[in-house]
Structure 1
Amino acid sequence: MIPRAAFAFSVALATTASAEIYLASRERAIHPPACPDYFNISIYHVNDIHAHLDEITTSGTDCTKPQNGCYGGYARIKAVVDAGRKKAKNSLFLNAGDEFQGTLFYSYYGGEKIADTLNQLNIDAFTLGNHEFDQGDKYLGEFLDNLTMPIICANVDSQDKSINSTVKPYHLFPQYNLAVIAVTTDTIPLISNSDDSTSFADPIKTVQYWADYVRAHEHVERIVALTHVGYEVDIAMAQNTTGIHLIIGGHSHTLLGDMAGAAGPYPTVETNLDGEEVFVITAYRYGEYLGLLDVQFGPNGKVVGVSGGPIHLTNQTAQDADLQAQIKEWRVPFDEFGNEVIGDTTVLLNHNGCKTGECNFGDLICDAMLDYRAAQSAPAGCLLNGGGIRVDIPIGNITRGDVITAFPFGNAVADVSLTGRQLWDIFAGAVSGVSVFNGQPVVTWPQISKGVRVTYNPTTKTLINLEIGQGDEMPMVDFDATYRMVTADYVAGGGDNIMPAQSDIVVLDTLDEVLTAYIQRLGSIDEELQNRVVLVNDTTPVQS
């Protein structure tokens, strides 16, 4: 079944961008610049704000030292978009999802203040990210009922009445002869908490279905895809569809542009099945950048030229005073609690790379979880989804708010019993990227504690050795033995497809509480990378 979603847009033209570009497509050679049938529109876009309503540091934590730089915040986004739209004849403002989870604005208020903020931004269309489903369909439906903008998501099929009545597959902008079709990632059942009855169709096939439908039934000349599927899937979508010439994405937190650390150009240009150009854009994460692309469409709906670039929202970017005052007022109830200093760190606790390999923040939290359960269940080691670590904690004082922001999902510690064979298969799946248990993608690398060492060949993606044992000895895993492991309830329930869902899980303290107590006891953290993951050129596993 091809499901529904609803969305509405308005567009804007910004005057400044951090990486101004201009590209003339191959279509421009066919239709000269003076062609009166050209249509110009400015498109603003954001994605993966994750409850960062207020300004932040570059790592995503609260900005408590403006002299070191504050970035983003919806007050800056609103100010820039409002100013740009006043100058634009045609404009849209699109949101590619994942507003939930990430800061105390969500932990304390749930979706309430997020909805209040979004409703003040004149967003023209909003699609659903995976984290919108973290508290189930009913909670999401109640949140959507409070939004005043169209919501669109074509590949979700939910039994919740509010989602069904609110979410549509596409939204028309007849004044622009344009339709926006939206899809979200079909991995949501693996990485979030959608209802068991909710299904997600293949996003690429769904976009093609609705693009064909819209052209046949709505007679729209221009089609834009709004997605929450990730940059790589966006590229695959561009290459394997027809009739769509602009894709605006989210989910993978990908930085595009000509700045340091960018994963590719803004826009990234691909070629579709008809040999036509498709322009792919996304706007990083947490609102540090506001995406802006000025698009020129030819008379056949193809893109003939683009200009613009991601706008870096810094201390020098004006804020909307009324919205910023509201945000500061909302902070009052949780600021005193969140600002309590619990210790300090002499090294950057880095979350970058935690989804794809070992990171020092993952080493630290896994050791904290192991320590927490040592007296009660004496676990052999820890397994934790690296994608659950959301931001860095910089050198200096560590506050409660820092820890909550790094672990915002409320996930709790749980013990599981796994055979050595199961543990081997877990890491074989992590190394290859495909679960041995069900053949589905392993969404994130499992972070590990002391007492666990993984050796693999990154070229062949082959697990070479798995060693488990506390103390100086690190014996090879015994396939026939049973190991007690500490993890998070989310992972134990099958989250991120690391392990098969376990039954009879006993949920203990939350990860943020466990890490807070650990830091308070140590006082100061100097956690360097522990090198628990070893890369080799060997090709033959020590056992299989």
Structure 2
Amino acid sequence: MKNQKNHVLRVMHINDTHSYFDESVIALHSDVGEKYYIKCGGFARISHQVSLLTEEAKAKGGNTVFFHAGDCFQGTLYFSLYKGKANADLLNQLPLDGMVLGNHEFDLGNELVSDFIANTHFPILMGNWDLSQEDQTKGHQLKQQERILDFNPTLGIANYLIKKVGNLDVAVFGLTIDKMDVLASPDPDTPFMNAIKTAQNTVDYLAVQGITNVIIVSHLGYEGDKQLAKAVNGIDLIIGGHSHVLQGDFSNVGLEARDNYGELVNDTHIVQAGCHALALGYCDLKYSEDGELLSFNGRNILLLDKMAYKDKACTQKMDEPHLLKTLALINSFELAEVCEKDLKIEALLIEKYRGEVDRLSQKVVGHCMEDLSHRRIPDDKGQSDIAPWVVESFYSKAHQLDNRVQFAMHNAGGVRSGLNQGDITYSDIAGKVLPFAIPIVIYSIKGRHLKAAIEGAIDNATDNGIIGSGSGSFPYVSQMRYCYEASKPSGQRITEFSIYHQDIGWAPILDEQVYFGTSTAYTIKGKEGYAPLLNKERECVTTTFSMADCFIDYLSHYPNLAKPTACLNQYHKNKRVLV
């Protein structure tokens, strides 16, 4: 019997990089539980590690591919300052074979997406994005951009690319969140088709063409990827994003242990590599000549610096004995690598972008009197310490612009982190707490719709009677107070609802009274339970001030922050009271 030759495809992947081009500082633990800090990740380290893995695979006669599973926008000052331009520049430095777009790429509409794609050099894998009916009068055309592998409405399938592995054809296509209009702000003339149905149609079509090896680059989220794998047979590998899942057991260095890398569902391996460019994932797929997937082997790798520190600011180096012991621990841990940087990427960052980011990182705008944490949904430990200040800053700025503004409301997911005690810098606000470059808007609305929006947002955040989209919809408010009783029937869960008047104090909010308020351009679109806001009285005014602008302006007047006392939360079984 003739011996068959096996073929190996090495697949490298990243996801949810969120403009984290520079290294980050993470806290790890030694084998005796001692905490230390180390610089990790960044595009320069990813590039270097990709080159090493590529050389290693090619030396063994294998092929390589490298994909990004979406959400490169938002997250740091690099995006706040440079939008998609910096992302295009930096991603072009990586040898990407393709990228699917995530929901955050669409936060500010299609125009920014179009500019980003026009400036990138790699395929955009968007197999369930239908561009066929795009408005031809718009100035930012997507349909004409040849590198977009979008939805084929004639065949009902994803356009795909083919990667050769020996004599095999491996098809690759991308799928993103099909309910994109719920999470982001895509233009309505470019809808997103059902992801599972598109995948099934595409796999069936490929089989007719004699192609039975399929890789999907997905921004559906970890659970969405599992559902896809269960629903559609014949997928070798799903490269995922959106959920920030770092697969693998990192407990040896004090990080969370998650599912195994390459979680197997219905003969489909699912991989995901965390977030923020901290890690690189890679796997080797070994195929027989007739296309049978013989083996899967891979891991996520934390990309670490060669120096460890005693403090998060990385100013106190470990002494030599402790450093040597720590590095020995890291070197013995197969899910971490001490990694050099690609000097070309470092030079690009220094030459074009890092100077302004560094300047703003040192610009002090306020002071934290104590640590301020952020939890989205209040619980028995309390509420978010930082979200009430954020929403108060929205009210302050909006009231400066229009003195009719009476309240502010913001979803908890729009706040991304807390603040540590000490100086607050510009980059702490615009790069960490409020990195999403989304403006506030001013609008007017009747009290009954406002009440319904708050109830809907909490229902969505807590899955109360509905399948919600996540805890990020939970509403924080300024100049209002309410009581939400979870056990009551839908539509009757807001049992107390009042607004503060400067002259008379607290007064009930009346159903037919019109009130002026402010929220973000994201929330006002009615997403994630806020649909009643679509009943606003008139067209809202979109200001020129982003969320971060509002908070930074607020700190210029009130620079010292402590835990809020004017907005208290109490937790009861089946009842949350916000005052």
Per the normalisation by structure 2, the TM-score is 0.75
Counterpart position of 2:413: 387
- Deviation string, structure 1 residues 259-299 (Cα, Å, up to 9, x no partner): 3664831336354xxxx322222122111122223334466
Equivalent residues of 1:369, 1:515 under 8 A apart: yes
Deviations 1:281-318 (A, max 9, x none): 21221111222233344667565543332211222321
Q: How does 1:299-310 map to 2 (within 5 A)?
A: 301=291, 303-310=293-300
Q: Secondary structure at the match of 1:114?
A: helix
Q: Compared with structure 1, are the counterparts of its residues 304 and 358 closer, same or farther at alpha carbon in structure 2 (3 Å cutoff)?
A: farther
Single out whichever of 353-362 and 419-428 deviates more from structure 2: 353-362
Alpha-carbon distance, 1:351 to partner: 4.9
Instruction: For residue 87 of structure 1, give the secondary structure of its aligned residue in structure 2.
Output: helix
For the residues of structure 2 that align with 1:355 and 1:214, how far apart are their CA atoms?
A: 49
- TM superposition shift of 1:416: 2.7
Match of 2:340 in 1: 318
Counterpart contact for 1:48–1:251, Cα < 8 Å: yes
Q: What is the root-mean-square deviation in Å for CA atoms of aligned residues? A: 3.6
Q: How many residues are aligned here?
A: 493
In 2, the alpha carbon distance for the partners of 1:170 and 1:99 equals: 21
Q: Spell out the pairing of 1:10-21 with structure 2 (5 A cutoff).
A: none
Give the share of equivalent positions with the same residue, in percent: 25
Offset at residue 73 of structure 1 (A): 0.9
Equivalent position SS for 2:9: strand
Residue of structure 1 in register with 2:137 after alignment: none
Q: Structure 1 residue 102: deviation in Å?
A: 2.3
Displacement of 1:474 in angstroms is: 7.0
Q: Compare 373-382 and 150-159 and name the one that shifted more.
A: 373-382
**Equivalent residue runs for 1:455-494 within 5 Å:** 455-457=484-486, 463=493, 465-470=495-500, 478-494=510-526
Q: Counterparts in 2 of 1:446-525, with a 5 A limit?
A: 446-450=474-478, 451-457=480-486, 463=493, 465-470=495-500, 478-496=510-528, 498-499=530-531, 500-501=533-534, 502=536, 503-508=538-543, 509-525=545-561
Q: Structure 1 pair 418/179, CA: closer, same or farther in 2 (3 Å)?
A: same
In the TM superposition, what are the counterparts of 1:75-154 in structure 2 within 5 Å?
Answer: 75-88=44-57, 89-154=62-127
Partners of 1:47 and 1:285 within 8 A in 2: yes
Superposed, 1:234-253 pairs within 5 Å as 234-253=225-244
| 2:368 is the counterpart of 1:366 | no
Q: CA deviation at 1:80?
A: 0.8
Q: For the Cα contact (< 8 Å) 1:50–1:98, is it kept in 2?
A: yes
The answer for the alignment partner of 2:350 in structure 1 is: 328
**Residue aligning to 2:181:** 189
Write the mapping of 1:44-63 to structure 2, written as runs, cut at 5 A.
Answer: 44-58=12-26
How far does residue 522 in structure 1 lie from its aligned partner after superposition? 2.6
Deviation at 1:85, TM superposition (A): 0.9
Spell out the pairing of 1:278-297 with structure 2 (5 A cutoff). 278-297=268-287
Structure 2 counterpart of 1:81, one-letter code: V
Deviation of the 1:200 alpha carbon: 0.3
Contact 1:144/1:162, CA 8 A, preserved across alignment: no
Over residues 77-116 of structure 1, what are the superposed CA-to-partner deviations in whole Å (9 max), with x where a residue is unaligned? Answer: 0011111110012322110112222223223333223222
Which amino acid in structure 1 is aligned with residue 299 of structure 2?
G
The one-character-per-residue Cα deviations of 1:385-441 (angstroms, maximum 9, x if unpaired) are: 3332234443332111221113233322223333332233223322332999xx995
State yes or no: 1:417 paired with 2:461: no
- CA gap 1:48/1:373 in 2 versus in 1, 3 angstroms: same
Instruction: Report the CA distance shift for 1:266/1:91 in structure 2 as closer, same or farther (over 3 A).
Output: farther
CA shift for structure 1 position 456? 4.0
Q: Distance in 1 between matches of 2:105 and 2:575?
A: 42
User: Cα distance 1:195–1:390, how it changes in 2: closer, same or farther (>3 A)?
Assistant: same
- The one-letter amino acid of 1:266's match is N
| Distance verdict in 2 for CA 1:538–1:181, change over 3 Å | same
- Inter-CA distance 516–99: structure 2 relative to 1 (3 Å threshold): same
Q: Of Structure 1 and Structure 2, which has the larger fraction of its residues in strand?
A: 2
1:156 aligns with one of 129, 152, 158: 129
Give distance in 2, aligned partners of 1:184 and 1:278: 18
Residue 172 of structure 1 is matched in structure 2 by 162
Tell whether the 8 Å contact from 1:41 to 1:90 is kept in structure 2 after alignment: yes
Deviation at 1:518, TM superposition (A): 1.8
Measure the CA separation in 2 of the matches of 1:290 and 1:220.
28
**Contact in 2 for aligned 1:140/1:163 (Cα 8 Å):** no
Bigger mean CA offset, 506-515 vs 93-102: 506-515
Q: TM-score, normalised by structure 1?
A: 0.80
Change (3 A) 1:373 1:148: closer
CA distance in 1, matches of 2:388, 2:494: 21
Asked if the contact 2:376/2:413 (under 8 Å) is kept, the reply is no
